[in-house]
Amino acid sequence: MDKSVNKNILFESFSGRATPLQKKLIEQWLLEPQNREQYYEWLDEWENQFIQILPNTEDALQKSLQKIAQNEAYLTPISVEPTPNFFQHNFRWLAAAAVVLLISFGVFIARDYIFYKRYQTAFGEIQKIQLPDGSQVSLNANSALKVARFGFGTKTREVFLTGEASFSVKHTIDNQRFTVKTDKNFEVEVLGTEFNVYARQKEAKVVLNKGKVQLNYLVGKATKQLTMKPGDLVTFNPIGQAKVQQIAQPQNYSAWQEHRFVFEQTPLKEVATMIYENFGVKIEFRDEALSQRTISGTFHAENADELLQVISELLEINFNRQDNNVTFFE
């Protein structure tokens, strides 16, 4: 375990007396999860040593237990509808929140439609888009791309992506930057190149085929930058940290453009997530062990059914499909 930070340094930091270098040290040290535990342990110790106020714990505990009892009384019998008391109690802010929500929603929608052209793909649909500057975009299923109606290619080249897309960006004479913004904590900035961006709920990643791109991303409140080389795969975890890996075949990550699916020792669980994202088909496993089995190979499939068929034949398992719910079993 990293011993670079001790209790004294941390106490100094809590008291606002740490030097910038000590802060840097602490920041490094905190990257280790056990050290975060240690941090809170010492924070608690510090608070107990330098107590600020003396609340009445017993009173507060009784109040808390009362609230729990009340709450549990509301909840039996279990009902999906919120209790009337909830609405009565919160009516004012609910109303206010509704109004605020409505207005901001309206403004947001209007702004969106006035200033942006949007492309949206359904489950199972792949769309090829040619942007005004000549750049090409393949938009994968269940994804959306927003492009400014005015000024694209003259002032800025900015697009907004949710979901997954592959870009082939045209280099302009005046070296104008092309930026892909996402609703995750990062954006991709390029001159002219080929790359794949994946920004879905579960995680986010960028794969570079050719050229050079720069990633701007946010960790906490700090903006960081990272330059990618061809063959780089950058993955962002939910707390926004980036991980860079070199991969042998970056083009596998944009195989979906030709309706190809490339798996390499991929657990079925991940395949299920992918199918859900691309085709809207929800997959369950009757047996947890099944979801851990892996699959390898390249498959061509135009829709979820074809893919499900291949998987079941390959692994010699069965599946049941009811609308958009599929269950795999042995």
Encoded amino acid at 25, one letter: L
Please state, in angstroms and as integers, the Cα–Cα distance from residue 176 to each residue in 126, 190, 213, 284, following that order. 28, 9, 13, 47
Q: Which is nearer to another protein, 60 or 287 (CB)?
A: 60
Is residue 43 close enough to count as binding another protein by CB under 8 A? Answer: yes
Is residue 19 close enough to count as binding another protein by CB under 8 A? Answer: no
Of the candidates 285, 288, 290, 326, which has an alpha carbon nearest to the alpha carbon of residue 305? Answer: 326
Interface pick for another protein out of 6, 64, 246, 298 (rule CB under 8 A): 64
Smallest separation, CB 102 to another protein (Å):
14
Q: Which is nearer to another protein, 24 or 229 (CB)?
A: 24
Is residue 293 close enough to count as binding another protein by CB under 8 A? Answer: no
Is residue 54 close enough to count as binding another protein by CB under 8 A? Answer: yes
By CB under 8 A, the residues from 77 to 96 that bind another protein are 90, 92-93, 96
By CB under 8 A, the residues from 222 to 251 that bind another protein are 222, 233, 235, 237-241, 243, 245
Interface pick for another protein out of 77, 79, 150, 221 (rule CB under 8 A): 221
Cis peptide bond prior to 84, omega within 30° of 0: no
Smallest separation, CB 171 to another protein (Å):
26
Site stretch for another protein (CB under 8 A), options 128-136, 218-226, 301-309, 320-328 = 218-226
Q: Give the pair of three-digit tokens for residue 260.
A: 């190809």
CA distance 25 to 10: 10
Asked if residue 89 lies in contact with residue 74, where contact means CB atoms within 8 angstroms, the answer is: no
Helix residue ranges per DSSP H, the chain = 7-14, 20-30, 33-49, 57-75, 84-115, 268-279, 288-291, 304-315
Is residue 2 close enough to count as binding another protein by CB under 8 A? Answer: no
